[in-house]
Structure formats: structure tokens, C-alpha cells
Structure 1
Amino acid sequence: MALAANAEQTVEERIAALEAMVADLKAELAAEKADTDADIVRIETVATQAAPAATAPKTDGFLVGDTTLKFGGIVDLDVHATSLSDGAIASGSIARDFYIPGATPVGGDGTDFTDFTAESSRFFFSASKPAGEDTVQGYIELDFLGSAQGNELVSNSYSPRLRRAFVKYGNWLAGQEWSTFQNTSAIPESASFLILSDGMVFIRQPQIRYTKGNWMFALENPNTTTLNAGSRDENLIPDIVARYNFTGDYGNVSVAGIARQLRADFGTSEDETFGYGLSVSGKVKAGEKDDIRFNLVGGEGIGRYVGLAASRSTALDPNGKLEAIPSYGGLVAWRHPFGETARFNVGYSGLFVDNPNYLPANATTRSVQSAYGAVLWDVAPKMTVGLELLHGIRELESGADGSISRFTFSTKYAF
């Protein structure tokens, strides 16, 4: 009996020991689970805290503190084969790099030449940061066209030039930017730096601009150009521009007006007159992929705003009075994509000037016109190869004219 009691006690002790071990194991597993759950909570919390950066829209640039920095530009090589019917263009002239209507020579023997240039390569840098409920942004852009420093003798070392430099805060812009009188979406696509500039509003200059909804208002840098008394810089009142933008599924159309004081001070005498202009421009869809780009402009004294200053704003009459010069023009270009990345562009542009009859007929431009065709295709992401043919004519008041024909091959890489 004693042996049976001892055996029963031993079994009970063993069962109790096993139960204690199981209890300890359960406690250990519970502790491990708690630690694991805590780790999961911590990981999920960290992931949740990081989620805004991971799931937020991709930033166009990179952050330094609360400032977004961005840089980019274009690496561009243009090869121009040019034929002039009359005269020549100096080797250092910017007109060798892209089409400038007023630089087409009239009179003299024709010339032919080929140029390689990378001067239209471009670089920009911008910085922006939150400022209350708005954003403040600074922007600066440079290229190398028109450099007076470089030459083609050894290194082709060209100095940079200022294209755009401005600060924006809320609805305000101050600095050098495209004129408010110009709608940049109307610029045709081309292999060369710029095409169809004859009847195009094209100018960048210092200004103060206010934008509210579809409306834009600006005070811009004034300058009075004359046909027979040089470029005058005695203006007191800035050029005043107002513009309204229409946008929709069809594209965009802008209507812009400009008012100008035209003034010259010759020391012993001074005079001023009034200039004005109206422009309608834009880019509208034509079918599923095609688009039409256009610009119609006219007025008196709009001079340097149109045709890359092919004409001037005023003339000084025999009595010493300034006379605003009427002119009108425009452009139209069609862009037709085909294949996967190619597109064909074709267009026409012209500017016509109503010059006073007291100006020398053999030295005053009556009209400039041009037409072009270009094929461009993207051979790699952001890399475009283009072929282009341009023909332009400049006519003087005397009836004499000269023409330019230019074939362009280009490669551009945007970064």
C-alpha cells in the first residue's frame, strides 16, 4: 500500500511539474508575442509616418529643407547650310545661328556657307518654397547665342547670356520673362532655334506682371526704336500690356493689347507719340493629334515686338517729329505627328510695314516673309533629331529684294 501511495504521489508531482513547465512556456510565448506585436506596431507606425513621402506625388526636383530645387536644360547642335541670293552675313552674326528676317541681305553677290553651332544649348535653375498660403519661386535661364566673346579659331568658347531671370510670389512676377504680349504656345516646333519669326510676337524683357484667373496685366521695359535716329532710351512711361487667355479642350487662344509711349530726347529738342497694338495667338487642336499654331498682330509703333525688330517703332520726320509706323503680320503652322515619335511641321509667316515716304526707299524694309517644313523624331527618350528647310524673302521699299534658303540638321537632348 505504501508503495502504491508513493507511486501515485510521484505521478502527481510529475504532472504538477509538467503543468508548471507548460505554464512557464505559455508565459514565455505570450511575452514573445507581445514583443512581436510591439515590433509590428512600431514598424507599422514608422511606415505610416513615412507613407506621405512614399505615396505623395513625385516631386519635380529635389528637396533641401523646405526648398525645392530644380535644374535642367537642352544640349543642342545645329548644322546650317545657307544660301543667300544677295550679299553675305558676317561670320560672327547671330543671324548665322537662326533666322532673323531683317538680317537677310539685299544687293550684292550671293554667298553660300555651312555652320556648326552648339550656342543654343541652354541651362536653367529654379528654387521654390512655401510662403504662407502661397509659394515663392526664383528662376534663372542662360544660353550662349549672340556671344561677343567667342570665335571659331581654336576653342569656340562662348560666354553665356541672360534669357530669363525672375521671381514669382502668388499672383506677382518681377524680373525678365517672355513679354505678356506674347503667347509662347504659338511658337512653331522647329529643328532650328527659332522659325517663322517674321510675323511673330517674340520678345523677352524686364517687367512687373500681375495674373488673376485668365487675366494678365504688366508694366514692361520701354524703348523707342526709330528707322532714322537710332534706338532711343528716354521713355518715362513703361509699356502697358493686358491679356486674356481662353483655354479648353480645343487648346488655348490669347487676346493681348499693348499701349506705348514713344519718346526721343535729342538735347535741343524732344518729341513723343503714342503706339498701340493688338495680338491674337494660340495653339488649337486639329483632329486627334494635330495642332495649328498661329499669331495675328497689328498696330502702330509695335516695332521691336514683332519680327525680331525687322522694322522699327517710329521714324523722325523732316520737322523733327516722331511718327509711329503701322505694321501688321502673322504666322500659321501645322504640326502633324506620325509613326510612334515622329512629326511633320509646315508653316508660313509674314510682316508688312507701311513706311513714311520720306525714308530712303533703298534701305527701308517693306516686308519680310518665310515658309518652312521640318521633320522631327525622338530617337531616344528626350533626344530629338530634326531636318528642316526654310526659305525667306526680304523686300525693300524700292522693290529690291533678297532671299535666304537654309537647310538645318539638329540634335537636341533635354534634361
Structure 2
Amino acid sequence: MKTSTLALITLGLFSSSSYAAFEFDLGEDNKLKFGGYLKADVRHVSGEVPYRPFWIATGATGEDSSQTNFTMRESRFNASYTHGKVMGFVEMDFYGSDGSEAVVNNYDPRLRHAFIKYDNWLVGQTWSTFMPLTAIPETLDFGGPHVGEAFIRQTQIRYTYGGFQFALENPETTGADNKNDAIPDIVGRYIHKADWGELGVAALVRQLDSDGIDKTTAAFNLYGKLLIGERDDFRFQVNVGESGRYVAPGLTTDIIPDGDNSVPEETTAYYAAYRHFWSESYRSTLFYGHAETDIQNRERQMWGVNLIKQLTPHLWTGIEIGNYEVSDADADSTYLQFSVKYAL
């Protein structure tokens, strides 16, 4: 396989955490790494769903509008230090509080990841064990079809043994008082890797104790990345159960009012994405995601397609068009995005 092809595959999953690229050997099994990327986005949104820098499963709608924005906020930097079996990693981007676009266009940095790894243990903040990074599509809109994804970062304690992962994660109840969040969320995942790709299944168990509800809930995730031909791949994710804040961010909360009571509701969410390499320089991803809930009857869907050109092993540019729909409000918006990314 040619070096340029290897570079394309290496850079393929840019929506996950960008681990360090520049490595310095400090001797005595000590290493320091720096990495990240710079990403410039020009995004135009037109329709009844207001502008967002990337779509999540919120239901805000309004009068028909049209907005264009230029931003570098997705850019990020990370560093890791390895001392023997111990590794520490930290990463920040610029999706913190908004600055003023009128004059200096400043944006506050935001902590994304900060964790320690030792042998099979991970302690700190990173992507939830319930969230499968391998299956996230390659999109210009950050994260792509959030409406169908398990998508959450939080502090956790995780143990990995072969293809099995077990974790205790931060118990934050949304939609109610969280003063009784005493029992950590429990996540288990099994990952199977082969020459044809990767498949995985995960289970999430939580104890919700707030606003008159005291209930154990569960949710399940099935995902895959299947290799097709020499370079193409098909990625998918299916989520079912009382997942709350873990799936389709913005769609629902962990507890919702239901008459005189507060209850969790079930969410069904899924997406599918096919990535095709037209040549060693050009590739595209076509994707679709959908989510709905069983009590509030909320429904969201999103589709998109892009074309990416690899200019050098570290630099690409691309264009993407898609649509985000709040189906239960009969409202949608179309977006057009142009991006340039330089991976450090």
C-alpha cells in the first residue's frame, strides 16, 4: 500500500480526539508528544432551524432565516507525557464561552480530555465507554449525525481486558435535581476486531433517584465499521433503551415530567454512513441519522454528503451539504459547509 494511502486512512476519523503527532524521546522510557489540528469552517445555514456550528438533536425552531459564519473553533491542541507504563493526556479546543465577533473574535478554550492511563486502567475525562469512536463517520459537520449517536465525554474509571471494557462513570441526572446522584453509571462494552473491520456492543445501567423517581434504567448500543474493498467502509450505530443524555444530545433529558410523575423515556436512535475513495486524493461520505422518543414523541433526522480532497498527507479541504429536520415540529434547515484542516 502506498504511503499516501496510509496517510489518508490515518487521517480518516477526524471527528474523534486527535492524538499527538510530534514525539520527543526524553530518555529512560520517557516521551513527550504534541498534536492536534487547525480547522477553518465556512458554514451557511438556511431554514426554520436556527444556525448552529454543528447539528445536535435540539428542537429549536423559528421563522425562516439564513446565516453564514466563519470560524476556527474546532481547532484543538493536545499533549501527552509517557513515563514507562504511565501516560497522561490532555486536550483543549475553543468551544468554550462565546467571544465578540464584532472586534477581536476571541473564544475561550475548553477542556476536552484529561486522563491518566496505567496498564489496563484509565482514570479521568474522555469519551464515555458507551460511545464507539470507531464508528463515527468522517464529516465536516463535527460529529456528523449526532441524532443517531451515543456522544458524551465525562470523567470515569475504566478497566480494559482484551476486548472487554468496564467503567464507572459520572452520574449526572439531567432534567431534575441531581442531589441524590450517589451511584455511578455502569458501562460494559465488548469489542471484536478482525480483518473485515470491527463490531461492538455495549450496555449502560444507571440508578435515577430524583423528583420522586427511584429506578434502575438500561440502554444498549450496537455499532460497527465494516471494510469494503481496499479502502471503503460502512459505519453504523444503533441505540435503544432509556439512554437519556448519553444518546442524541439535546433530544431528551434523563428524567421528564409525565402527568404528576417524573419518568425516564426510551430513545431509539441510529445512523448509517458509507465512505468511498474515488482516488488517492478524493473521498466522500454519505450519511443518515434518525432518533425518536416514546413519551414526548420527539423525532429528529439528518442527512449529508461530502467531498474531501487530500492536498498533502497533513492537509485536506472539503465541501459538505446536508439537511437537519425537527420532524415533530415540521421544520428543517439545509446547510452548506466548506472546511480546511491541517493535522499537526
Question: TM-score of the superposition, structure 1-length normalised?
Answer: 0.75
In structure 2, what residue type is equivalent to 1:294?
F
Deviations 1:230-273 (A, max 9, x none): 463531101000000000001111110010111215xxxx4322
For residues 182 and 191 of structure 2, what CA distance do their matches in structure 1 show?
29
Q: What does residue 202 of structure 2 align with?
A: 256
For residues 181 and 136 of structure 2, what CA distance do their matches in structure 1 show?
30
Q: By percentage of residues, which structure has more helix?
A: 1
Task: Answer yes or no: is the 8 Å Cα contact 2:22–2:35 preserved in 1.
Answer: no
Task: Answer yes or no: is the 8 Å Cα contact 1:78–1:411 preserved in 2.
Answer: yes
Q: What does residue 404 of structure 1 align with?
A: 333
Computed over aligned residues only, the root mean square deviation of the Cα atoms, in angstroms, reads 1.6
Task: Answer yes or no: is the 8 Å Cα contact 2:213–2:263 preserved in 1.
Answer: no
Q: What does residue 197 of structure 1 align with?
A: 146
Task: Answer yes or no: is the 8 Å Cα contact 1:273–1:322 preserved in 2.
Answer: no
For residues 351 and 233 of structure 1, what CA distance do their matches in structure 2 show?
29
For residues 276 and 345 of structure 1, what CA distance do their matches in structure 2 show?
32
Task: Answer yes or no: is the 8 Å Cα contact 1:310–1:365 preserved in 2.
Answer: no
Deviations 1:56-93 (A, max 9, x none): xxx9611224320000111000000101225x35xxxx
What stretches of structure 1 move > 6 A for 4+ residues in a row?
none
Alpha-carbon spacing, 1:65–1:287, altered in 2? closer, same or farther (3 Å): closer
Work out whether 1:334 is the aligned partner of 2:334.
no
Offset of 1:370 from its aligned partner? Answer: 0.6
Offset of 1:383 from its aligned partner? Answer: 0.4
SS of corresponding position for 1:304: helix
For residues 222 and 350 of structure 1, what CA distance do their matches in structure 2 show?
26
Deviations 1:351-370 (A, max 9, x none): 11101xxxxxxxx5611101
For residues 65 and 380 of structure 1, what CA distance do their matches in structure 2 show?
32
Deviations 1:335-393 (A, max 9, x none): 000122210110110011101xxxxxxxx561110110011111122101010011011
> Which of 58, 61, 69 is 1:102 aligned to?
58
Higher relative contact order (CA 8 A, sep 6+): 2
Q: How does 1:7-406 map to 2 (within 5 A)?
A: 61-66=23-28, 67-85=30-48, 88-89=50-51, 96-103=52-59, 105-106=60-61, 108-130=62-84, 135-145=85-95, 147-226=96-175, 230=176, 232-264=178-210, 270-300=212-242, 302-319=243-260, 321-355=261-295, 366-396=298-328, 400-406=329-335
Q: By percentage of residues, which structure has more strand?
A: 2
In structure 2, what residue type is equivalent to 1:148?
S
Task: Answer yes or no: is the 8 Å Cα contact 1:192–1:410 preserved in 2.
Answer: no
SS of corresponding position for 1:219: strand
Offset of 1:309 from its aligned partner? Answer: 3.0
Alpha-carbon spacing, 1:371–1:305, altered in 2? closer, same or farther (3 Å): same
Task: Answer yes or no: is the 8 Å Cα contact 2:23–2:33 preserved in 1.
Answer: yes
For residues 304 and 213 of structure 2, what CA distance do their matches in structure 1 show?
41
For residues 204 and 273 of structure 1, what CA distance do their matches in structure 2 show?
24
Q: What does residue 47 of structure 1 align with?
A: none
Alpha-carbon spacing, 1:283–1:231, altered in 2? closer, same or farther (3 Å): farther
Task: Answer yes or no: is the 8 Å Cα contact 1:365–1:395 preserved in 2.
Answer: no
For residues 84 and 150 of structure 1, what CA distance do their matches in structure 2 show?
25
Offset of 1:216 from its aligned partner? Answer: 0.2
Task: Answer yes or no: is the 8 Å Cα contact 1:129–1:137 preserved in 2.
Answer: yes
- Report the count of equivalent residues: 323
Gaps of 5+ in 1: 1-58, 90-95, 356-363
Gaps of 5+ in 2: 1-20
Alpha-carbon spacing, 1:296–1:233, altered in 2? closer, same or farther (3 Å): farther
Bigger CA radius of gyration = 1
For residues 261 and 282 of structure 1, what CA distance do their matches in structure 2 show?
28
Deviations 1:264-296 (A, max 9, x none): 15xxxx432221111011211122221001001
Deviations 1:168-201 (A, max 9, x none): 0001000001100011011100122221110111
Percent identity, aligned pairs only, is 37
Q: What does residue 14 of structure 2 align with?
A: none
